């Protein structure tokens, strides 16, 4: 289909957007307690295909999945076209011998065909295994792809371009895995000509809440990735809970421009399924929040004017200065925006304040900022559906979810239970057993606290990952997540990200990543990141702001005594910056061990204690 850009108008008043903020608390003794939503979770559907059936009839001509075509114009499929293609592709996959024990690998990134194929496989109970693109294109040894194949035993692999994925395809062919692409011997167009059959109807009838829909692999930052079993129940519970706390979705089908990868739960479950559930339109963003790619995102926003916008803090950091300078882009971005959703990491105050100011100036009202907290293994656990004053509030438990807070090392460890939680890791009973406590709560490894201990309905504050925190040589614990956000706030706007160092050292340090646009203004010239890292004006700014930050700190757990500015950006190819756009703290420490050594040896490039006047 080639269609004009989808246009809707919003008619939702801010007060009607969200369900009331309510929560039920139960004390367990010894400082432990649980929180849960008082709203009962209703699961009216058997599988995601029920939603496609509904919208194919209720809104057959509405654009569902759209992307830029070879002529650079938007093209894609309506709901009725998706329905017809799903029937054909499902029949094709069954004829190829795929089944619950022989899943489908998808190697290439987000696309209309990727989305329709994913729905077709799940329609007949074939699990989908979307694979991070760098595993096939940037790893000559294919280490993680080999591990995924060994774990899942796939029957077929799809990639849009057989030539681009030739290295991976050669390996997969050697494993007797069928190959499927847009331009190969077994082509997508051929598959679309397959006629639906009684086998499709029978397989669809067998799909229910316990059917495995996907196998999503974790990032593998501390080893080989684990295959998370994602059931239909998990995906249904996630979207039903969302619409119960964001009721405006029922009457105002969302329109989004989104790049977040579908091999992660944020893009592939929260965003993709949200559009399907609510009959919205998904414009696949061919940009990303990296230099040279963010321009594509901004162009798409100009044309589409989304009603919801999802991104990670890195994306907002790159967008803010351009939004300030471009009135046309600003009008398109805010024209019908219902909310701004940030996730993956906390949103620094300067980004929040800057976006809020632009929105008020453009529209005269404040657009809600919302976030959520979740994991591949537990999907959306909490979500914001009430006004929040700061980015560290991640909302309240959504319907059906229960969070157990357990004192752990001076913090409250959060453990999770509910229908949205995975039954375990595929073919990995040892890791599955380690992932749950004796009462069956999933051990997510994050800490949290109440914004107001006297009134839990004010929300939960994310308090860092218990696994990322470390001790200094003095035995003092360092809360990495909170410290990182505080440091970014202190060094705004020149510094866009940071890796906190100091495990088994006497003092905290940090590796800093620069915002090139802001450095250009500070240095007064165009240069490389390495050039800015050595620029006296940039270094003086960092030193001055760091000294001011340290003067306000009262202890060694928050005082940053040395920093080293990096002359590059975190690597997407090495998974240092994850597919979701935020820094992988653990992996960055491993990959940048030489920089950390230089930092603590007092390299001339480091900004040391004397220079920051602490």
The model's pTM: 0.83
Six-digit token string for 40:
């009962």
* Contact call for residues 513 and 497 (beta carbons, < 8 A): yes
CB atoms < 10 A from the CB of 265, how many? Answer: 27
Confidence of residue 264 (pLDDT cuts 50, 70, 90): very high
Six-digit token string for 162:
């057989």
Six-digit token string for 450:
């109440």
Confidence of residue 12 (pLDDT cuts 50, 70, 90): very low
In Å, what is the CA distance from 85 to each residue of 51, 113, 197, 356, 584? 15, 10, 13, 42, 38
Task: Answer whether residue 456 shows pLDDT above 50.
Answer: yes
pLDDT given at position 168: 98
Six-digit token string for 122:
């799940």
Residues 202, 72 share a domain: yes
Cα(580)–Cα(267) distance, integer angstroms? 8
CATH number at residue 190: 3.40.50.980
Residues 190, 151 share a domain: yes
The rounded mean pLDDT for the chain is 91
Q: For residue 213, is it within any domain?
A: no
Confidence of residue 573 (pLDDT cuts 50, 70, 90): low
Cα(341)–Cα(345) distance, integer angstroms? 11
- Which of 612, 391, 406 minimizes the C-alpha distance to 507? 612
Backbone φ and ψ of 237, nearest 5°: -60, -40
Task: Answer whether residue 554 shows pLDDT above 60.
Answer: yes
Torsion of CA 383, 370, 387, 385, to 10 degrees: -30
Q: Degrees (nearest 5) of the Cα angle 134, 288, 360?
A: 155
Element housing 333 (H / E): helix 327-334
Q: For residue 221, is it within any domain?
A: no
Sheet containing strand 508-514, edge to edge, reads: 495-501, 508-514, 560-565
Residue ending a domain, among 410, 443, 465, is 465
Q: For residue 83, is it within any domain?
A: yes
CB atoms < 10 A from the CB of 20, how many? Answer: 10
Residues 594, 495 share a domain: yes
Q: For residue 328, is it within any domain?
A: no
Please tell me which residue, 6 or 209, carries the higher pLDDT value.
209
Residues 185, 98 share a domain: yes
Query: Helix crossing, 349-363 with 327-334: angle to 10°?
Result: 90
Residues 413, 544 share a domain: no
- Report helix, strand or coil for 100: coil
Q: For residue 73, is it within any domain?
A: yes
Which range has the worst mean pLDDT, 111-125, 211-225, 378-392, 536-550?
211-225
Q: For residue 502, is it within any domain?
A: yes
How many Cα atoms within 13 Å fall on the side-chain side of residue 590?
13
The predicted-structure confidence for 458-506, as pLDDT tens digits, reads as follows 999 988 777 677 778 777 878 787 788 889 989 989 998 899 999 878 8
Task: Answer whether residue 4 shows pLDDT above 70.
Answer: no
In 155-223, DSSP assigns E strands to 156-159, 178-181, 212-217
- Which of 244, 210, 247, 246 minimizes the C-alpha distance to 40? 244
Confidence of residue 7 (pLDDT cuts 50, 70, 90): very low
Residues 547, 436 share a domain: no
The predicted-structure confidence for 267-297, as pLDDT tens digits, reads as follows 999 999 999 999 999 999 999 888 889 999 9
Residues 587, 536 share a domain: yes
Residues 195, 72 share a domain: yes
The predicted-structure confidence for 29-55, as pLDDT tens digits, reads as follows 999 999 999 999 999 999 999 999 999
Q: For residue 255, is it within any domain?
A: no
Residues 80, 169 share a domain: yes
Torsion of CA 507, 312, 296, 271, to 10 degrees: 150
The predicted-structure confidence for 380-423, as pLDDT tens digits, reads as follows 999 999 998 778 899 999 999 999 999 987 789 999 999 999 99
CATH number at residue 23: 2.30.38.10
Q: What's the total number of domains in the chain?
A: 3
pLDDT given at position 578: 61
Q: For residue 246, is it within any domain?
A: no
Give bridge partners of residue 341 from the DSSP assignment: 310, 370
Find out whether the peptide bond into 493 is cis, omega within 30 degrees of 0: yes
Read off the pLDDT of each residue in 579-593 and give the average, rounded to a whole number.
Answer: 77
Residue ending a domain, among 435, 465, 495, is 465
Read off the pLDDT of each residue in 590-595 and give the average, rounded to a whole number.
Answer: 91
Residues 474, 545 share a domain: yes
Range of the domain at 529: 470-601
Report the percent of the chain where pLDDT is more than 70: 93
Backbone φ and ψ of 361, nearest 5°: -65, -35
Six-digit token string for 421:
């939680």
Residues 503, 413 share a domain: no
Residue ending a domain, among 189, 207, 225, is 207
List all residues 6 or more positions away from 610 whose beta carbon is below 8 Å from its beta carbon: none
The predicted-structure confidence for 293-311, as pLDDT tens digits, reads as follows 999 999 999 999 999 999 9
Residues 193, 112 share a domain: yes
pLDDT given at position 349: 80
């Amino acid at each position: 289909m080639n269609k004009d850009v989808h246009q809707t108008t919003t008619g939702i008043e801010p007060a009607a957007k969200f369900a009331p903020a309510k929560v039920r608390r139960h004390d367990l003794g010894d400082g432990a307690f649980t929180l849960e939503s008082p709203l009962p979770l209703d699961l009216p559907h058997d599988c995601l295909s029920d939603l496609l059936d509904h919208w194919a009839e209720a809104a057959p001509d509405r654009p569902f999945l759209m992307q830029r075509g070879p002529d650079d114009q938007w093209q894609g499929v309506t709901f009725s076209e998706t329905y017809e293609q799903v029937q054909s592709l499902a029949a094709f996959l069954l004829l190829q011998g795929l089944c619950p024990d022989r899943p489908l690998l998808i190697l290439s990134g987000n696309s209309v065909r990727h989305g329709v194929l994913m729905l077709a496989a799940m329609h007949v109970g074939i699990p989908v295994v979307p694979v991070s693109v760098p595993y096939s294109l940037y790893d000559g040894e294919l280490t993680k792809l080999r591990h995924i194949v060994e774990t899942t035993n796939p029957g077929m692999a799809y990639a849009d371009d057989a030539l681009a994925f030739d290295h991976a395809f050669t390996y997969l062919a050697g494993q007797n895995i069928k190959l499927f692409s847009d331009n190969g011997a077994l082509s997508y167009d051929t598959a679309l000509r397959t006629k639906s059959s009684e086998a499709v109807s029978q397989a669809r009838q067998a799909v229910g809440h316990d059917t495995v829909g996907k196998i999503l692999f974790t990032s593998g930052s501390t080893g080989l990735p684990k295959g998370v079993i994602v059931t239909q129940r998990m995906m249904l519970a996630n979207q039903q809970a969302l619409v119960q706390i964001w009721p405006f979705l029922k009457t105002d089908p969302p329109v989004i421009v989104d790049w977040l990868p579908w091999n992660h739960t944020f893009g592939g479950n929260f965003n993709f399924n949200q559009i399907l559930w609510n009959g919205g339109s998904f414009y696949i963003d061919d940009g990303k929040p990296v230099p040279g790619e963010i321009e594509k995102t901004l162009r798409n926003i100009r044309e589409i004017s989304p009603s919801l916008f999802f991104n990670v803090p890195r994306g907002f950091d790159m967008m803010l200065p351009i939004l300030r300078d471009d009135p046309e882009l600003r009008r398109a971005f805010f024209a019908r925006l219902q909310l701004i959703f940030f996730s993956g990491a906390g949103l620094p105050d300067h980004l929040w304040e800057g976006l809020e100011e632009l929105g008020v100036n453009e529209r005269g009202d404040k657009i809600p900022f919302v976030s959520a907290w979740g994991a591949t293994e537990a999907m959306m656990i909490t979500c914001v559906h009430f006004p929040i004053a700061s980015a560290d509030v991640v909302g309240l438990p959504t319907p059906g979810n229960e969070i157990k807070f357990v004192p752990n090392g001076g913090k409250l460890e959060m453990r999770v239970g509910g229908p949205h939680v995975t039954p375990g890791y595929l073919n990995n009973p040892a890791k599955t057993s380690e992932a749950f406590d004796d009462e069956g709560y999933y051990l997510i490894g994050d800490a949290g606290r109440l914004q107001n201990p006297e009134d839990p309905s004010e929300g939960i504050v994310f308090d860092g990952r218990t696994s990322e925190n470390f001790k200094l040589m003095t035995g003092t614990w360092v809360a990495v997540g909170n410290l990182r956000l505080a440091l970014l706030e202190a060094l705004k706007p020149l510094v866009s990200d940071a890796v906190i160092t100091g495990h088994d050292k006497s003092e905290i340090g940090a590796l800093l990543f620069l915002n090139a646009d802001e450095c250009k203004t500070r240095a007064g010239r165009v240069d490389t990141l390495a050039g800015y890292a050595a620029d006296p004006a940039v270094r003086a700014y960092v030193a001055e702001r760091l000294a001011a930050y340290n003067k306000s700190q009262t202890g060694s757990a928050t005082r940053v005594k040395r920093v080293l500015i990096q002359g590059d950006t975190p690597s997407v190819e090495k998974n240092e910056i994850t597919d979701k756009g935020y820094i992988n703290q653990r992996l960055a420490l491993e990959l940048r061990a030489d920089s950390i050594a230089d930092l603590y040896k007092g390299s001339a490039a480091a900004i040391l204690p004397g220079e920051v006047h602490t």
